Amino acid sequence: MGLCAALFISFSARAKEGMWIPTLLGAVEDDMRAYGMRISAEDIYAVNRSSLKDAIVHFGGGCTAEFVSAEGLMFTNHHCGYDQIASHSTVEQDYLRNGFWAKNRAEELPNPGLTATLIDRIVDVTARVLAASAEERDAVRKAIVAEATTGNGLSGKVVAFDFGNSFYLITTRTFKDVRLVGAPPSSIGKFGGDTDNWVWPRHTGDFSVFRVYAGKDNAPADYSPENVPFRPAHHLPVSVKGVQEGDFTMVFGFPGTTEQYLTASAVRHLTERLNPARIGMRDAGLAVINAARASDPALRIAYAPKQSDVANAWKKWIGQNRGLRELHAVRRKEDLEAEFARRAGAAGRPDLVALVPAIDEINREFFPLLEARSLYVELMFYGPDMLSLASDFATLVQGSQALSEADRDQQVADRTAAVEAWLRQSSPEVECALWDALLKRLVQEAGDAEWFRPVADLLGDDTPEAYVAAACAKSVFCNPERLQALLEKPSAKTWARLASDPVFRFATVFKAAYAESVAPAYQRLLKDRDVRMAEYTAGLRTLFPERAFFPDANSTLRLTYGRVEGSAPNDGEIYTPFTTSRGLLSKHVPGDADFELPADLLGLLEAKDWRGYAPAGADLPVCFTGSNHTTGGNSGSPALNAEGHLIGINFDRSWESTMSDVLFDGTRCRNIMVDARYVLWVIDVYGGARHLVNEMTVVR
């Protein structure tokens, strides 16, 4: 039985679980209608006419956004636009603190490097790829992409689903001129801060507003003042009719990754070793970052994006571990594997009986490499930026003589620009303190692992504290004046001196240790495991025909549907699905970084000046929850009603739901959305940007 057919067997038994490939929605259209949907599957995804998919945007590669006007206006989350908002902020003109609203198109702010990607089409190419031998498949995938994209301005890729049991060609258009149009102050966009993150009830106006610009032919173009607002094939009407408990909802976006087929041994490793190690690294980093931000207004702005990035997954992992333990995830996986083996034996399939033990055997070798990779990522990508900055000089330091003059000049220009950006957004003192804190934790976690030996040798008899102190005292990367002077007079001698710089040496040794001792084996074992996992997921569908097993999320466009629902996740806890301005006011704490509301917002809330965005005599809606299966990457995704109108913007899950990437539970997993009525009220009444609302299609 093929993957597509198997996915839909007995769907009604697990109606809320699953992230649907939009080309396959016809198979569940009747079920969606039973839930209350009043449009067709073709209204959601079509190729030869406009459909909802034409309004959905992959924002910056890591979030989702949606068009809400015929002139390229987009909504996404505040936290998705956070880096851009921060990059335009200064102590004197602090958009993070005060918000930003462009009064006209000329005031909309460009964001170099920010992209908006639209789906052209999704095509099942499984048969063609699987017909080729394993050695030929890469070439076949490249040929499929070339056939679909040559000469038409499209980009494309053939993406493996379900560990390679199926393949889809996805063609796209990517726009590079994306401008910031509006953002509420962080006291709205991040209300509740880390305290409320991943928690219900929420009162967070987590949204920001951008616009896509194009050339005069409506095609993607590099930034230019001559560009014009992009005209999407479809934009979402915004409903201010509101929602009721039990109403149909769907979320359409780009969920990142899920791991719902981990074996019991992998879930045990995740909860007992991997997550605690990652949490410990982030505990150490957040202590430094939070102290720095509290000490100085400039540092508060400079380290705001990093604090947000580090804290988000940190709290998720804590909640994930809690949920997996409470749901007895390891035991449930063990029970599934025992039944898998029993049914495989009864079916006369010794190959399937041997699968889980074979996967676990690979995992025994894979787990230490997974831990090493995670530790590397924590230091090099979520630690001090000066380490990755320093390592980027390696080509100049180690091979400048082999470069052409033009290439060398380009390398110097690129590194100079990177240094200037880094110095605007960081502090050498904070970078060194962050390095010190994370290196201490890294040494503790890595222990005497073979891959870490080159770093241990570099440290010698020094403690991490002593090593970092000495390195920071000598390094040009801790002395902005010396670093800039070095770049102003680049030469072979310059690069020779940089080779002995202690920050550069540490970064290159650490990077080489990972690249040589971890990365190749990690990739080899990951590939070996995926081959076995493909057999396992196919085996699950064969041996459990009464159940539906969904392909993991992989950052491709998916749709999930459910209802507006509350939950009762723990004994004595009953969560209703709505929050309002009344709860927002009750959480206000003057002087509290997470819960202080600005005086002008307080005045409007206390006056109940709703201007038609709330029912007569009622409080202003703020957020609501639904039973839509979401994950990271769904941030900014539109929450849609039965007619396909925007009713909210997805931004989070409840803390009790964070384990849903590994184990979904329909009784407790809830996604959190900011109500469209609150979004429009903030833009119009609080922000004074009614001109933005006027260009939307508002359904009243």
What is the domain range of residue 509? 384-517
**In-domain check, residue 478:** yes
How does pLDDT run across 572-622, given as a tens digit for each residue?
A: 999 999 999 999 999 999 999 999 999 999 999 999 999 999 998 999 999
- In this prediction the pTM is 0.94
Active site residue 635: yes
Distance, in Å, from the CA atom of 260 to the CA atom of 370, rounded to the nearest integer, reads 17
Q: What is the mean pLDDT of residues 515-540?
A: 97
Query: What are the phi and psi torsion angles at 273 (to 5°)?
Result: -130, -55
* Banded pLDDT at 492 (limits 50, 70, 90): confident
**In-domain check, residue 658:** no
Question: How high does pLDDT run on average in the chain?
Answer: 94
Q: What is the mean pLDDT of residues 383-412?
A: 85
**In-domain check, residue 469:** yes
Query: What are the phi and psi torsion angles at 291 (to 5°)?
Result: -65, -40
Active site residue 79: yes
Q: What is the mean pLDDT of residues 197-223?
A: 98
Distance, in Å, from the CA atom of 468 to the CA atom of 115, rounded to the nearest integer, reads 37
**In-domain check, residue 306:** no
| Options 58, 78, 79, 203, the catalytic residue | 79
The more confidently predicted of residues 378 and 482 is 378
Residue 7 reports pLDDT greater than 60: no
The residue with tokens 């920071």 is: 472
Q: Pick the closest to residue 364 from 529, 552, 527 (CA basis).
A: 529
* Banded pLDDT at 238 (limits 50, 70, 90): very high
Distance, in Å, from the CA atom of 245 to the CA atom of 632, rounded to the nearest integer, reads 25
Per-residue pLDDT, 533: 98
Residue 11 reports pLDDT greater than 70: no
**In-domain check, residue 421:** yes
Beta-strand pair 698-699/238-239: parallel
Q: What is the mean pLDDT of residues 301-327?
A: 94
| Options 83, 206, 552, 661, the catalytic residue | 206
**In-domain check, residue 444:** yes
How does pLDDT run across 49-74, given as a tens digit for each residue?
A: 999 999 999 999 899 999 999 999 99
**In-domain check, residue 648:** no
Per-residue pLDDT, 18: 87
**In-domain check, residue 494:** yes
Q: What is the mean pLDDT of residues 543-552?
A: 91
Residue 120 reports pLDDT greater than 70: yes
The more confidently predicted of residues 191 and 480 is 191
Per-residue pLDDT, 361: 98
What number of other Cβ atoms are within 10 A of residue 12's Cβ?
A: 10
Distance, in Å, from the CA atom of 562 to the CA atom of 19, rounded to the nearest integer, reads 11
> How would you class 423 by CB atoms within 10 Å of its CB: exposed for 0-12, middle for 13-18, buried for 19 or more?
middle
Q: Count the domains in the chain.
A: 1
How does pLDDT run across 170-190, given as a tens digit for each residue?
A: 999 999 999 999 999 999 999
| Options 400, 635, 654, 657, the catalytic residue | 635
